[in-house]
Amino acid sequence: MRLYNLKNQNQQVSFVQAVKQGLGLQQGLFFPLNLPKLNDEQLTKWLQYDFITRSSHILSTYIGDEMPFEQVTESVKKAFNFPLVVRPIEENIASLELYHGPTLAFKDFGGRFMAQILAQIASNEPITILTATSGDTGAAVAHAFYGLNNVQVIILYPENKITSLQEKLFCTLGENIHTIAINGDFDDCQTLVKQAFDDEELKRILCLTSANSINISRLLAQICYYFEAVAQLPVEKRQQLVISVPSGNFGNLTAGLFAKAMGLPVKRFIAATNVNDTVPRYLSEGQWLPHQTIATLSNAMDVSQPNNWPRIEALFLYQKWALDELGYGVVDDKMTAKTMQELASKGYISEPHGAVAYRILRDQLQDDEYGLFLSTAHPAKFKQSVDSILAKSLPLPTALAKRAKLPLFSHQLPADFVLLRKFLLKHVTR
């Protein structure tokens, strides 16, 4: 598999190189030179496979001869060892629940697959993973790499802008997991990560790579659950399928669009955002004008400068799709809370991100269409807001309950790269 840098097309790398590097020159994202396409016979056959077998084929199609199929399958088995569930909500709408993994969020798929791949390609070389999180990436990456030899993990997150339970999941581990609360928002954290990757000396000393959705291994892993969602639907429901994706950094939507480009029968996708609406405004008005990030109930989507958007534009160009074919919508906190209550009245408990995706899907779905919205995190990760909005007390799943009262090991820093650099050189030992 060959990939090129979207900011410098002369830089081309292999899949293994892209995983190790994370970002290309000039902070450019890696994008496949060629995208695989399934014919109808292959698609029908693959949709009949079990999740592990199908996922192994999907990933091998991208990775090519860089890794034997058996090796990819072994990685998939270890990474995807938990269920995903399509839960009917109404006659023509279902929820794709992606939160049944060890850290209760969809990020477990990409984080765990990346850990398996790096463990196989690193050859015992020391690696430092530097990543930013708006809530759920941190836990998935921390738990996937916790205790691995020769791997140090540094996670930046916006101080006081994720839920306390999200914070507890990844800031109570210690050992090779270093967590830093940044006095700023997620975009500040993301900027610091990019600055680190622009620092050649720092990259060399620490052997830096990233585990954000900018890393191609995480993105490719997420393609797999879109295929599984369609495979779980009755054949008659697969016609006229619309998928609504809660979108912050836009990696999840990018993966879904890659699945569609491969031939997965999705009529259209909807980019569902909160009031951090850079992309909806861009699609509506044609101008890229990020605003200051606003804190919302759906905090994992509090992103004003989504990293993965250049990949989406490159994909639409490659496929000769028109950007106006991409649906979009914006939901504020008041409507989010109201939607959570509406879903509860239907017998379904949703956290804010899933509610945003459901609201826009419900508003835009046509009579002859079938809708799927992504539920990306367990409602208990947002216990305070869910309990308050729904006037109930959610029990904590074991994964949260056993960490809820543990002390935090986090450091605090301002959004200052010079200070972050000093911290990394002092605290990250090789």
331 in any annotated domain: yes
CA–CA dist 186, 137 (Å, integer) = 12
The structure tokens listed for 325 are: 């074919």
Number of neighbouring beta carbons within 10 Å of residue 332: 15
136 in any annotated domain: no
CA–CA dist 236, 147 (Å, integer) = 46
Which distant-in-sequence residues (6+ apart) come within 8 Å of 275 by Cβ? 294, 296, 330, 332, 333
342 in any annotated domain: yes
Which distant-in-sequence residues (6+ apart) come within 8 Å of 289 by Cβ? 278, 281, 282
Which structural domain range is residue 350 located in? 83-103+220-390
CA–CA dist 69, 350 (Å, integer) = 38
What is the number of structural domains in the chain? Answer: 1
- DSSP 8-state symbol, 396: P
- For the chain, how big is the Rg over CA atoms in Å? 20
Q: Is there a contact between 66 and 120 (Cβ–Cβ < 8 Å)?
A: no
Smallest CA-to-CA distance from 134 within 175, 104, 162 is with: 162
* Residue 429: predicted pLDDT: 61
* Residue 27: predicted pLDDT: 86
Q: How do the pLDDT tens digits run along the chain, 430 residues long?
A: 899 999 999 999 999 999 988 889 888 999 999 999 999 999 999 999 999 999 999 999 999 999 999 999 999 999 999 999 999 999 999 999 999 999 999 999 999 999 899 888 876 788 899 999 987 888 999 999 998 888 899 999 999 999 899 999 999 999 999 999 999 999 999 999 999 988 999 988 998 888 777 899 999 999 999 999 999 999 999 989 999 999 999 999 999 999 999 999 999 999 999 999 999 999 999 999 999 999 999 999 999 999 999 999 999 999 999 999 999 999 999 999 999 999 999 999 999 999 999 999 999 999 999 999 999 999 999 999 999 999 999 999 999 999 999 999 999 999 999 999 999 998 876 5
The identity of residue 418, as a single letter, is: V
The structure tokens listed for 415 are: 């959004």
Q: Given the DSSP bridges, would you call strands 127-132 and 30-32 parallel, antiparallel or unpaired?
A: unpaired
145 in any annotated domain: no
333 in any annotated domain: yes
Secondary structure (3-state) at 419 = helix
Which distant-in-sequence residues (6+ apart) come within 8 Å of 235 by Cβ? none
109 in any annotated domain: no
386 in any annotated domain: yes
Exposed (0-12), middle (13-18) or buried (19+): which is 188, by Cβ within 10 Å? middle
Q: Is there a contact between 98 and 374 (Cβ–Cβ < 8 Å)?
A: yes
227 in any annotated domain: yes
CA–CA dist 217, 367 (Å, integer) = 37
CATH number of the domain within which 328 lies: 3.40.50.1100
* Residue 23: predicted pLDDT: 87
The structure tokens listed for 13 are: 């790398």
